[in-house]
A = this chain, B = another copy of it.
Amino acid sequence: MPTTTSQFLNGVPELLVLRLLRDKEMYGYELVEAIRAASNDNLSFAEGVIYPVLHALERDGALSTRRQTVNGRSRVYYSVTPTGKDRFDSLLAHWQRLQGTIAAIVETPRHA
Contacts and interface: CB of A to CB of B under 8 A. Distances in A.
A34 B99 CA distance: 18
Contacts of A11: 2, 7-8
Contact of A95 (B20, B56, B102): B102
A70 to B, nearest CB: 20
Nearest to A92: B106
19 contacts: A1-B57, A2-B11, A2-B14, A7-B95, A8-B10, A9-B10, A12-B98, A16-B102, A16-B105, A20-B111, A23-B110, A23-B111, A38-B112, A39-B101, A39-B105, A40-B101, A42-B97, A42-B101, A99-B99
Copies of this chain, complex-wide, total 2
Interface of A: 1-2, 4-5, 7-12, 14-16, 19-20, 23-24, 34, 37-40, 42-43, 56-57, 59-60, 87, 90-92, 94-95, 97-99, 101-106, 108, 110-112
A41 to B, nearest CB: 10
Contact of A24 (B59, B87, B111): B111
A105 to B, nearest CB: 5
